[in-house]
Amino acid sequence: MEPRQPGNNKLPDFDQLNDRIIAEQPSEPRLIIKTNLDPQDSTENNPYYQGKETNNPQAFRDYFEE
């Protein structure tokens, strides 16, 4: 019995792909700065906030507002 190989045989090997950029993990820490242009409410324009579906909105605000 032949071992099953998942995937498509017509695709090139991953190491041969040259049309993608694979970013390495940064070795230095990142600096994130909050400015006066940031919204005062952390739920405003936040893609992680799901409105009333959030179980604990205060914990959500505490996490994002520090």
pLDDT reported for residue 1: 53
The beta-carbon contacts of 14-17 under 8 Å, at least 24 apart in sequence, are none
Mean pLDDT in consecutive groups of 10 residues from the start of the chain, 66 residues:
67 74 79 80 78 76 77
Domain locations along the chain: 31-66
Q: Is residue 5 within 8 Å of residue 13, measured between CB atoms? A: no
CA distances from 10 to 6, 7, 13 (A): 12, 9, 9
pTM over 0.75: no
- Spatial separation of the C-alpha atoms in residues 10 and 34, rounded to whole Å: 48
